[in-house]
Chain A
């Protein structure tokens, strides 16, 4: 298995632009998580899906953030409009039990 696959690896955009991050979880995993990592706040859970259904989005910082999981093999995290304070590394993780497997992340820079 290739593991959790995220794209793009790096994204540089200007303030106000829409950003879409993509994730392909490990096949057979029924849970998917989006985390954000910054130096100041560490790893923060943004949203959790179980069987493609959003269960907990309390970590989504604002209405500018949205996430979807249209099927078991794909999820997106969208920021619209993006702001400089959204700059961070965004990780997707999947699991079928408590053990999470992480992708390599998307390094987002909003100028």
Chain B
């Protein structure tokens, strides 16, 4: 079946460096994507979203890039901080038109 998946299960970066978290999706009809951040003991928290008519969207310290040709999504975090340590999920708006399909997640660890 079609699914959303992540390239790297874990990522360790030094404080102050930039982080890049990648995500591959297989449903070429997907037209909306969201990145969520989940800290320990909490629910997923919305970070940034992007629609398929865009290839880049920027937020505060975060940028999402969408490459529809290779069905690839990435989340870039600038000047990574200890508070960025969490699991990051990409999510794809499903064929159903009402629910998000989540990838397995990438754990980001920021070291001092």
Contact = CB atoms under 8 A, between A and B. Distances in A.
Interface string B94-107: 00101111111100
A106 to B, nearest CB: 10
Interface residues of A, number: 20
Contact of B41 (A43, A45, A91, A104): A104
Interface string A74-105: 00000000000000000101000011111111
Interface string B59-76: 000000000000000000
A100 B105 contact: no
Interface string A40-70: 0011010010100001100000000000000
Given A42-B104, A42-B105, A101 B46 contact: yes
Interface string B33-54: 0101000011111100100000
A98 B100 contact: yes
Nearest to B104: A42
Contacts, number: 47
A39 B99 CA distance: 21
B99 A48 contact: yes
A105 B43 CA distance: 6
Nearest to B42: A104
B25 interface: no
A53 to B, nearest CB: 12
A22 to B, nearest CB: 15
A93 B105 CA distance: 18
Contact of A56 (B34, B41, B43, B98): B98
Given A45-B99, A91-B44, A93-B43, 19 more contacts: A31-B98, A42-B104, A42-B105, A43-B89, A43-B102, A45-B100, A48-B99, A56-B96, A56-B98, A56-B99, A91-B43, A98-B93, A98-B100, A99-B34, A99-B49, A100-B34, A102-B45, A103-B43, A104-B43
Interface of B: 32, 34, 36, 41-46, 49, 89, 93, 96, 98-105
